[in-house]
Structure 1
Amino acid sequence: MLVAARFRRMIQETAGGLPRRFWWLWVATLVNRLGAFVVTFLALYLTSSRGYSPAYAGLVASLFGLGSAASSIVAGVLTDRIGRRPTLLAAQLGTALFTVVLGFTDGRVAIAVVAFLVGFCNNATRPAISAIIADIVPAADRVRAYSLNFWAINLGFGLSSAVAGLIATHGYLMLFLLDAVSTVLCAVVIFLRIPETKPDTPAGARADEPTVGLVTVFRDSRFMAVVGLTLLLALVLQQGATTLAVDMDRQGITSSEYGLVIGLNGLLIVLLQIPLTRWVESRSRSAMLAAASLFIGWGFGMTALAGSSAWFYAFTVAVWTVGEILYTPTLMGLIAELSPTHARGRYQGVYGLSWSLASFLGPAVGGVLLERAGGGALWGACGVVGTVAAVGYVTLGGRTGTAVAARSGEVVAVAAPRTEAVPAPAAEPASEAAKAPAGA
């Protein structure tokens, strides 16, 4: 009884007090990820079902990543210009359309082009979703909100990966169709339940001109430093989906053992994300990011010592997964607070570019290093990169705190369909106040 009461209290503290619109967005995200079959099985589909070479499958995967990178910037600008809701709906419907088209497409060039378009539309949802969360969730609760959103993504992805293998036995086309259906359902939920949250145009600004241009984002040295550090850690995390499998195969680890080891990543996120959320919120942001960087970097770094032990590989996955759990929601909260209110889409788009570039560059860089220098050099490099990122976050801690404090006086008037006047939310607290738990 005592354990059950503590668990209920933990759930209440983690999930309570967030706006209803956030929970509809959370449901839409979960539904979408529950049907995210194609990305996971695209390479296997191209090689086993369509008979293409592994090299061609890798090229298609790279083009998918390239489309994601391009959409980060485009979708970020559109999120600020035309609004969060239309950008998100267009991206979802485009993803559903091109996913179905990809299932029926044949020919090397045609498949490559459609895969690029699927990647473009699929990733275009990220800036809009992140901006909506920043718009509707108070600063003090954003780490918690981003953590719950991250949890929904991993829960849905884990379940979909398990089910997709069974569905694929009846034909890969069914994966494409069900993926498209889940994406359309997500768009329906957003259309019915998520109003536009784009802030009103500031007084004195032209309605047809953004307050902050894209060039301004790239000139924001503090923000771009955070993006650069994110790119470093994203390159490390990409090795978990690419070179880790190759290295384990070289050591004689079977494919079934690899599946169990890498599956531990999603399982731990589902089990630990909620318990760790409240603990992360009350800690120093720079300390959490630095600790997460070390967990991620040296979690992969210790892979060099695994040899042929699947248990040791599982241990390393557990270490860098804890780092991932600490890192993602904390970083998203920082990105939201570093973003000026009327340029959140652009800032989120540029931030997302780091992950897209990592998905494009990470497999190639890791593969070349593994092939030419060996596993010891690759995993050691991951540890060094994690250490560099940790030092960078500690160094930037005071500077980013100053930047957030400078923007804490912004007043946001959310433009949403309503029949009565809604007052603007209170000014966002400075960085230290933002880290306090809700109700503190």
Structure 2
Amino acid sequence: MKKLYLNYIDSFSGLSKEVWWLSLITLINRAGTMVIPFLSLYLTESLDFTPSNVGWIMSAFGLGSAAGSWLGGKLTDKIGYYKVMLFSLLLTGLLFIGLQFLTTFSSFCLGIFIVMTVADTFRPAMFVALSAYSKPENKTRSVTLIRLAINLGFSAGPAVGGLIITYLSYGGLFWVDGITCALASILLLKVLNPKKAIVIDEEKVINPKSAYTDKTFWVFLVAMSLFGIVFMQFFSTIPLYYKNIHFLSEFQIGLLMGMNGSIIFVLEMPVVKWLEKTKRSKSGLMLIGAILTGLSFIILTTTSWVGILVISMLLVTIGEMIAFPFSNAFAMDRSKRGNKGEYMALYSIAFSIAHIFSHNGGMHLIEYIGYNNTWYIITAISTICILLLYILRQRMKLKSIST
């Protein structure tokens, strides 16, 4: 037991002080965006919007995320990651506070688009900063630490948000969201000031190549968009499947979904460190993650036994633990060929696109063709993703041999 504990602690060793600060800032920021999980409830209960209205607003949310990621990449390459992160956090705080005063459908669509455009300029800038503050051998574990911070933020945020709604109001939620974003910007100003922070790996690229001309990277991006469409079903259609087909209570659904976050929090860092020692390629590990995630859906069609839900959740959790850290590290490594902000922006946009199509597509599929047929289609999308990642791995192998 002591050895396991020491190995677990050792998996966090070697990361720079700046990476830990960046993780704390991300934790505060993600916990602060607690309005997001309650957005559909707020729109239907407080503003009396229809489900169709909510669907369009969520599309505006996804489009804003994509636009923000693109803009963040451009600005990061122009003015640097520090300024982009600082202004994104500060302006997002002000915009979240203002969002509560928009009460018409058209104004809220525009408002959420602007909020997400500003908020998600933070993402590519944060990834570039993470790369700069990490040693090359620690980049994947640095990404994993950020993911732990995001998971903690998403776990704590809704719990605190529920209390705020109960004892204050939805309006209080917007105020707390705005204040926490402002606090994160102040912390960034204090602890990651470029005059004080130690940059470990900020190399300048001579004659940088555009990410838009990198064919190998485009194979990777399409695969990640498909992976995102598949994975995001666990936040939209899967909870409905648990309730409508297996008749689980909200408490049971919460426990099953919570198992995902708990396993990731406890095991992801040591698993990533162990996988790094196996010397497997990042593209090969992404392929394994995609296979496990695809399997998590197809097995749901094989039996009505309720225990299959636990097995499915375990498969997608392991797949997520492998695919996300190594795909992020792959994108950061690839970005050394050219404009880093542009590369990381496209990586973020891949998941923004998945966000736009995943939820609406999944909801329409289960309504018109049922759950099992939907899982077959999701498995087919997984198969295309797996084939693309296999092509990516072969391309990377050929290039390593030729060089």
TM-score, normalization: structure 1?
A: 0.84
State how far apart, in whole Å, the 2-side matches of 1:272 and 1:200 are: 32
State how far apart, in whole Å, the 1-side matches of 2:70 and 2:399 are: 23
Runs of 5+ unmatched residues, structure 2? none
- Mapping for residues 319-398 of structure 1, pairs under 5 Å: 319-340=315-336, 342-398=338-394
Post-superposition offset of 1:18 = 1.6
Post-superposition offset of 1:298 = 1.4
Indicate the residue corresponding to 1:248 in structure 2.
Answer: 242
- Mapping for residues 189-200 of structure 1, pairs under 5 Å: 189-196=187-194, 199=202
Indicate the residue corresponding to 2:178 in structure 1.
Answer: 180
- Mapping for residues 37-186 of structure 1, pairs under 5 Å: 37-170=34-167, 171-186=169-184
Indicate the residue corresponding to 1:424 in structure 2.
Answer: none
> What is the letter of the counterpart of residue 324 of structure 1?
E
| Structure 1 range deviating more: 253-262 or 20-29 | 253-262
Post-superposition offset of 1:245 = 2.6
Q: 1:404 to 1:106 in 2, by over 3 A?
A: farther
User: Does the 8 A contact of 1:338 with 1:404 survive in 2?
Assistant: no
Post-superposition offset of 1:313 = 2.3
State how far apart, in whole Å, the 2-side matches of 1:17 and 1:367 are: 44
User: Does the 8 A contact of 1:253 with 1:308 survive in 2?
Assistant: no
RMSD: 2.3
Indicate the residue corresponding to 2:219 in structure 1.
Answer: 225
Q: Does 1:262 align with 2:260?
A: no
Post-superposition offset of 1:223 = 0.5
Q: 1:313 to 1:379 in 2, by over 3 A?
A: same
Other structure's SS at 1:169 match: helix
> Percent of counterpart pairs with the same letter?
26
State how far apart, in whole Å, the 2-side matches of 1:237 and 1:272 are: 19
Other structure's SS at 1:245 match: helix
Q: 1:199 to 1:241 in 2, by over 3 A?
A: same
Q: 1:394 to 1:200 in 2, by over 3 A?
A: closer
Other structure's SS at 1:37 match: coil
User: Does the 8 A contact of 1:199 with 1:341 survive in 2?
Assistant: no
State how far apart, in whole Å, the 2-side matches of 1:268 and 1:247 are: 22
Q: 1:147 to 1:83 in 2, by over 3 A?
A: same
Which whole-Å deviations, capped at 9, do the CAs of 1:58-79 have from their partners, x for residues lacking one? 2211111110011111111111
Post-superposition offset of 1:401 = 5.4
Q: Does 1:274 align with 2:269?
A: yes
Post-superposition offset of 1:84 = 0.3
| Structure 1 range deviating more: 60-69 or 33-42 | 33-42
Other structure's SS at 1:67 match: helix
Which whole-Å deviations, capped at 9, do the CAs of 1:376-431 have from their partners, x for residues lacking one? 1211222233233233323322423566899xxxxxxxxxxxxxxxxxxxxxxx9x
Which whole-Å deviations, capped at 9, do the CAs of 1:119-146 have from their partners, x for residues lacking one? 1122211100111111221221111111
Q: 1:305 to 1:47 in 2, by over 3 A?
A: farther
User: Does the 8 A contact of 1:300 with 1:317 survive in 2?
Assistant: no
Post-superposition offset of 1:280 = 2.1
> What is the letter of the counterpart of residue 74 of structure 2?
V
Q: How many residue pairs end up in the alignment? A: 394
Q: Does 1:400 align with 2:393?
A: no
State how far apart, in whole Å, the 2-side matches of 1:91 and 1:403 are: 38
Which whole-Å deviations, capped at 9, do the CAs of 1:9-51 have from their partners, x for residues lacking one? 4212x22112211111111111222222011111111112322
Q: 1:200 to 1:265 in 2, by over 3 A?
A: closer
State how far apart, in whole Å, the 2-side matches of 1:405 and 1:80 are: 32
| Structure 1 range deviating more: 163-172 or 297-306 | 297-306
Post-superposition offset of 1:152 = 1.1
State how far apart, in whole Å, the 2-side matches of 1:4 and 1:160 are: 32
Runs of 5+ unmatched residues, structure 1? 206-210, 407-429, 431-440
Other structure's SS at 2:339 match: helix
State how far apart, in whole Å, the 1-side matches of 2:182 and 2:285 are: 37
Q: 1:94 to 1:404 in 2, by over 3 A?
A: farther
User: Does the 8 A contact of 2:32 with 2:180 survive in 1?
Assistant: yes
TM-score, normalization: structure 2?
A: 0.91
User: Does the 8 A contact of 1:298 with 1:382 survive in 2?
Assistant: no
Which whole-Å deviations, capped at 9, do the CAs of 1:130-182 have from their partners, x for residues lacking one? 11111221221111111111111101211222222222112111211111122
State how far apart, in whole Å, the 2-side matches of 1:353 and 1:397 are: 22
Please identify runs of 4+ aligned residues in structure 1 that moved more than 6 A. Answer: none
State how far apart, in whole Å, the 1-side matches of 2:205 and 2:285 are: 34
Indicate the residue corresponding to 2:8 in structure 1.
Answer: 10
